[in-house]
Amino acid sequence: MEVKNCKGCKKLFNYIGGVQLCPVCREALEDKFQAVKKYIYENPKASLVEISEDNDVSNTQLRQWIREERLMFTEDSVIGIECENCGTRINTGRFCRRCKETLANTLNSAYQKPAVRDEQKKSQNSASRMRFLEGWNNSN
Protein backbone atom coordinates (compact mmCIF):
# COMPACT_ATOMS: atom_id res chain seq x y z
CA MET A 1 0.00 0.00 0.00
CA GLU A 2 1.23 3.47 -0.92
CA VAL A 3 0.97 6.47 1.39
CA LYS A 4 0.32 9.85 -0.21
CA ASN A 5 -0.61 13.36 0.79
CA CYS A 6 -4.27 14.12 0.19
CA LYS A 7 -4.66 16.81 -2.45
CA GLY A 8 -7.48 18.31 -0.45
CA CYS A 9 -6.45 18.40 3.23
CA LYS A 10 -2.74 17.48 2.77
CA LYS A 11 -3.00 14.70 5.33
CA LEU A 12 -1.28 11.37 4.72
CA PHE A 13 -3.54 8.54 3.69
CA ASN A 14 -3.34 5.07 2.18
CA TYR A 15 -3.53 5.60 -1.57
CA ILE A 16 -5.48 2.95 -3.42
CA GLY A 17 -5.43 4.51 -6.89
CA GLY A 18 -7.67 6.96 -8.69
CA VAL A 19 -8.12 10.44 -7.24
CA GLN A 20 -5.41 11.54 -4.82
CA LEU A 21 -7.86 12.28 -2.04
CA CYS A 22 -8.29 10.78 1.41
CA PRO A 23 -11.62 9.02 2.06
CA VAL A 24 -12.93 12.07 3.96
CA CYS A 25 -12.16 14.51 1.16
CA ARG A 26 -13.36 12.04 -1.44
CA GLU A 27 -16.71 11.89 0.27
CA ALA A 28 -16.82 15.67 0.66
CA LEU A 29 -16.10 16.03 -3.05
CA GLU A 30 -18.85 13.58 -3.90
CA ASP A 31 -21.27 15.60 -1.74
CA LYS A 32 -20.16 18.72 -3.55
CA PHE A 33 -20.71 17.06 -6.89
CA GLN A 34 -24.26 16.14 -5.94
CA ALA A 35 -24.86 19.72 -4.75
CA VAL A 36 -23.51 21.14 -8.00
CA LYS A 37 -25.65 18.77 -10.03
CA LYS A 38 -28.73 19.88 -8.13
CA TYR A 39 -27.71 23.52 -8.48
CA ILE A 40 -27.37 23.18 -12.25
CA TYR A 41 -30.72 21.46 -12.43
CA GLU A 42 -32.31 24.33 -10.53
CA ASN A 43 -30.28 27.04 -12.27
CA PRO A 44 -29.91 25.85 -15.84
CA LYS A 45 -28.82 29.33 -16.97
CA ALA A 46 -25.99 29.71 -14.45
CA SER A 47 -22.50 30.26 -15.81
CA LEU A 48 -19.42 28.31 -14.75
CA VAL A 49 -18.28 31.25 -12.62
CA GLU A 50 -21.64 31.41 -10.84
CA ILE A 51 -21.67 27.68 -10.22
CA SER A 52 -18.13 27.81 -8.93
CA GLU A 53 -18.80 30.77 -6.60
CA ASP A 54 -22.19 29.66 -5.33
CA ASN A 55 -21.02 26.14 -4.56
CA ASP A 56 -17.45 26.92 -3.51
CA VAL A 57 -16.04 24.61 -6.14
CA SER A 58 -13.00 25.48 -8.24
CA ASN A 59 -13.40 26.09 -11.93
CA THR A 60 -10.82 23.38 -12.57
CA GLN A 61 -12.89 20.86 -10.64
CA LEU A 62 -16.02 21.82 -12.57
CA ARG A 63 -14.24 21.42 -15.88
CA GLN A 64 -12.90 18.06 -14.78
CA TRP A 65 -16.42 16.85 -14.05
CA ILE A 66 -17.51 18.06 -17.46
CA ARG A 67 -14.59 16.25 -19.12
CA GLU A 68 -15.52 13.09 -17.23
CA GLU A 69 -19.05 13.52 -18.61
CA ARG A 70 -20.43 13.57 -15.09
CA LEU A 71 -21.89 17.02 -15.57
CA MET A 72 -24.11 17.48 -18.58
CA PHE A 73 -25.54 20.65 -19.98
CA THR A 74 -28.28 21.25 -22.44
CA GLU A 75 -27.49 22.29 -26.02
CA ASP A 76 -28.63 25.87 -25.40
CA SER A 77 -26.77 26.17 -22.11
CA VAL A 78 -24.31 29.04 -21.76
CA ILE A 79 -21.80 26.60 -20.33
CA GLY A 80 -19.35 24.98 -22.65
CA ILE A 81 -15.81 23.73 -22.79
CA GLU A 82 -13.59 23.33 -25.81
CA CYS A 83 -13.15 20.16 -27.83
CA GLU A 84 -9.60 19.01 -27.02
CA ASN A 85 -8.96 18.41 -30.70
CA CYS A 86 -10.46 21.30 -32.67
CA GLY A 87 -11.58 23.80 -30.01
CA THR A 88 -15.26 23.72 -30.94
CA ARG A 89 -17.57 24.48 -28.03
CA ILE A 90 -19.03 21.32 -26.52
CA ASN A 91 -21.33 20.69 -23.57
CA THR A 92 -19.65 17.66 -22.09
CA GLY A 93 -16.84 15.17 -22.56
CA ARG A 94 -13.49 15.80 -24.24
CA PHE A 95 -14.25 15.95 -27.97
CA CYS A 96 -16.99 17.28 -30.21
CA ARG A 97 -19.16 14.78 -32.05
CA ARG A 98 -17.25 15.21 -35.31
CA CYS A 99 -13.84 14.65 -33.71
CA LYS A 100 -15.19 11.70 -31.76
CA GLU A 101 -16.23 10.05 -35.02
CA THR A 102 -12.94 10.85 -36.73
CA LEU A 103 -10.97 9.57 -33.78
CA ALA A 104 -13.01 6.38 -33.60
CA ASN A 105 -12.37 5.74 -37.30
CA THR A 106 -8.65 6.40 -36.97
CA LEU A 107 -8.42 4.15 -33.96
CA ASN A 108 -10.24 1.31 -35.69
CA SER A 109 -8.18 1.42 -38.88
CA ALA A 110 -4.84 1.83 -37.14
CA TYR A 111 -5.58 -0.36 -34.20
CA GLN A 112 -3.17 -3.24 -34.74
CA LYS A 113 -0.69 -1.87 -37.23
CA PRO A 114 1.56 0.17 -34.90
CA ALA A 115 1.81 -2.68 -32.42
CA VAL A 116 2.99 -5.08 -35.12
CA ARG A 117 5.56 -2.56 -36.32
CA ASP A 118 6.83 -2.16 -32.77
CA GLU A 119 7.19 -5.89 -32.36
CA GLN A 120 9.26 -6.12 -35.52
CA LYS A 121 11.47 -3.25 -34.39
CA LYS A 122 11.98 -4.94 -31.04
CA SER A 123 13.03 -8.26 -32.55
CA GLN A 124 15.38 -6.47 -34.95
CA ASN A 125 16.97 -4.67 -32.04
CA SER A 126 17.54 -7.82 -30.05
CA ALA A 127 18.95 -9.54 -33.13
CA SER A 128 21.54 -6.81 -33.61
CA ARG A 129 22.32 -6.84 -29.92
CA MET A 130 23.00 -10.58 -30.18
CA ARG A 131 25.40 -9.99 -33.03
CA PHE A 132 27.14 -7.31 -31.03
CA LEU A 133 27.53 -9.61 -28.04
CA GLU A 134 28.92 -12.38 -30.22
CA GLY A 135 31.50 -10.04 -31.66
CA TRP A 136 32.40 -8.82 -28.23
CA ASN A 137 32.86 -12.37 -26.96
CA ASN A 138 35.08 -13.31 -29.89
CA SER A 139 37.41 -10.38 -29.46
CA ASN A 140 37.77 -11.11 -25.77
- Name the site residues for Zn ion (rule: CB under 5 A): 6, 8-9, 22, 25, 83, 85-86, 88, 96, 99
Q: Residue 107 belongs to what H/E stretch?
A: helix 97-109
Nearer to Zn ion (CB atom), residue 15 or residue 39: 15
Nearer to Zn ion (CB atom), residue 26 or residue 37: 26
Q: How far is CA 12 from the centre of its chain?
A: 24
- Cβ count within 10 A of residue 26: 16
Cβ at position 82, least distance to Zn ion in Å:
8
Cβ at position 21, least distance to Zn ion in Å:
6
Cβ at position 19, least distance to Zn ion in Å:
10
- CB contact at 8 A, 89 and 80: yes
Q: How far apart are CA 104 and CA 94, in angstroms?
A: 13
